[in-house]
Structure 1
Amino acid sequence: MTSDSAVPARGTTEWHADILGADFEACAFQARDPEGVARTATLVRHVPRGAAGSGPELRPGDAPPADEALHAAPPPFRAVLFLHGWSDYFFNTELAEFWTRSGFHFFALDLHNHGRSLRPDTHGGYVADLADYDAEITAAIGIIGSLRQEGTPLPAVTLMGHSTGGLVAALWASRHPGVASQLILNSPWLEMHGSPAVRRAARTLLGPLARLRPESVIRLPERGFYWRSISSSAEGEWTLNDEFRPPRAFPVRAGWLSAVLDGQARVARGLNLDVPVLVLISGASANGMVWKESMRSTDAVLDVNMIALRSLSLGRTVTLERIDGALHDVFLSAPRVRKDAYTRLARWIRAYALDGGGPR
């Protein structure tokens, strides 16, 4: 499943208190790609300090627990690994609590050049090839596996990704068949706005610059509308670290955008994933260069209709859930909306995670 050089030996991973508080721990590690390039990533885990099997009382609008059937016959070790979007990091404690209450061990990965893994003198959010994330994802799953009891089977891992992290997760799963048991994509960036023709044209125009000067910054209009809709420093309800999640995002660089376009092209050709896939998106998109009130209840980043269409290229078993009133990250939406999203997610878990969904 993983290379020995990428995964720390059992018991050698050093966990420490995380920025999210007492119920979370983090560990930084290095993973080497096939060319020997080492990159630093950070794995976060949820470790509730309350009574075993319990947690704080749910409040109105909190993530509802999955159905009791989720706990009927749990495997020895079932885990979720969450991948954040571009220019982002993991901070959604409510999401972690939902998965823990549902009988899963929850982990999130701050990818290299993001969030907790940012290092001085590096370009925030930059990657020249989305496959460069493969080693750290594989290593993180290896670390998760090392936490199981001696002699027990490897954990069943559900891979979950948001936005660009959703694209990364889908591509990783296609390159590593038989490892992830399920794939859950929250507004994955599978296609550009408008049509595939936009992606093809952008890829053609960007190609020479990406090859010759991949770290060149592309001057694009700055839009902080999504940040405005979620940050408690603006008009949202979520406390964000503006260093880890800048209001106007990291600079867009030619190599990074080219890598995304290449990944989207691969999805368009079809990934033929053999595990169950759940795609959650907003019911509508809102675009434009000026703020609109509709951006409080729509996806202000992606074209959800194109994402819905492109989802059909992912694999053989794809479930699409359109959440009316949802933001770009459906689990950061208004309490009523994300309660709906969690209910749909719990229903899908009952059908596919507990019913033996995934590779045999």
Structure 2
Amino acid sequence: MDWSTDILGMDFQSRVLDAEGPDGVLRRATLVRYRPESMTQEARETHGALLFLHGWSDYFFNVELARFWARNGYEFYALDMHNHGRSLIYGSHGGYVANLGDYDAEISRAIEVIRSDSPAHRRDNLAMMGHSTGGLIAALWTSKHAGQVQHLILNSPWLEMHGNSIVRRAAQVMVGPLAKLRPEMVLRLPERGFYFRSISNTAEGEWPLDEKYRPPLAFPVRAGWLRAVLAGHSQVARGLDLDIPVLVLTSAASANGMVWQESMRRSDAVLDVGIIALRAMALGRSVTLERVDGGLHDVFLSAPNVRADAYARLSRWIRGYMEDGLPQERQEGDA
């Protein structure tokens, strides 16, 4: 299927991807690319490409992030995974998946398209970036597909439940039998829209969100989905042994509670950043942790001065790890 103009405007194109998983189910995802008309062929022939994976109940909309990667010499792509965002199908359970491995086929298909879309000299230089649940999915996919990704960047990845592994194991004991019998049953959990409130320009934030793609209260939590996420957390806790450079960015603080607090405008209102920082060390042999003061759950949606700090930290890591391995003549030509 051909590329067409995306909902984000003329500089973005998207195309539908159909991928069949090992279970024989055909799932539909949507691949988005940033390809500004002003970008010359010479500008495109730089370092490589980056694939971004969104979080749960989310979709790709951060045009600033795409432009950042383009300025740093990487063609930017984002995947709206099945049952999310642009890939939502009427009547389906938004965000539902029974096994995080069900995303593997569409990620692999996206990478095939990216490689065929890229100049030959860059097809083996691919980075992956994931946010929240997308960060967990990216880490698990990378661990199963050695050599496919050269660098991994995780933005507040959901690597563990709040608290510690004891909480996770208790949740698995409670959810497991229910997920086996009624995997699509909705769990009656407290509904909090605090993160949406902190980023949406209809509330406390500055970002224009399409509520058709990103509902304020997120999708219903279903038993099978929660079991799948907990299983992913268990894999991370056992260690993924990634042999590529990994960058993990989180907020410096978490904010929890059942009522809105002003601190939620400058902290992670979704995850326990302390346990995420601990679990990050189980990802692989070369892990860099950056904790961003004032960061939101997505540090690149934080207040302008905070995300400027996050981008500066990311830029420093790019120079140290992603550019360090480039041929010398390529680095000099990009200066």
Using the size of structure 2 for normalisation, the TM-score is 0.95
Q: Is 1:17 aligned to residue 18 of structure 2?
A: no
* Alpha-carbon distance, 1:354 to partner: 1.2
Give the one of 32, 36, 41 matched to 1:48. 36
CA distance in 2, matches of 1:284, 1:350: 27
1:1-360 residue pairs with structure 2 within 5 A? 13-50=1-38, 52=40, 78-149=48-119, 152=121, 154-356=123-325
Structure 2: give runs of 5+ residues left out of the alignment. Answer: 327-335
Structure 1: give runs of 5+ residues left out of the alignment. Answer: 1-12, 55-70
Instruction: Please give the secondary structure, in 2, of the residue aligned with 1:190.
Output: coil
CA distance in 1, matches of 2:10, 2:45: 27
Checking the alignment, whether the CA contact within 8 Å between 1:79 and 1:155 is kept in structure 2 is no
Structure with the larger RCO, 1 or 2 (CA within 8 Å, 6+ apart): 1
Matched AA of 2:173: T
Superposed CA deviations along residues 128-175 of structure 1, whole A, max 9, x for unmatched, are: 0000000000000000011134x5462411010000000000000001
Using the size of structure 1 for normalisation, the TM-score is 0.88
CA distance in 2, matches of 1:325, 1:133: 32
Structure 1 match to 2:332:
none
CA distance in 2, matches of 1:168, 1:153: 24
CA distance in 2, matches of 1:312, 1:102: 27
CA distance in 1, matches of 2:210, 2:79: 16
Instruction: Please give the secondary structure, in 1, of the residue aligned with 2:150.
Output: strand
Q: How many residues align?
A: 326
Superposed CA deviations along residues 164-208 of structure 1, whole A, max 9, x for unmatched, are: 000000000001011000000000000110111000100111000
Matched AA of 2:74: F
* Alpha-carbon distance, 1:52 to partner: 2.9
Structure 1's consecutive aligned runs of 4 or more residues displaced over 6 angstroms after TM superposition are none
CA distance in 2, matches of 1:103, 1:21: 21
- Structure number with the higher helix fraction is 2
* Alpha-carbon distance, 1:46 to partner: 0.2
* Alpha-carbon distance, 1:77 to partner: 5.3
Checking the alignment, whether the CA contact within 8 Å between 1:124 and 1:250 is kept in structure 2 is yes
CA distance in 1, matches of 2:246, 2:122: 23
Checking the alignment, whether the CA contact within 8 Å between 1:186 and 1:279 is kept in structure 2 is yes
Checking the alignment, whether the CA contact within 8 Å between 1:41 and 1:111 is kept in structure 2 is yes
Superposed CA deviations along residues 71-110 of structure 1, whole A, max 9, x for unmatched, are: 9xx9765000000000000000000000001100000000
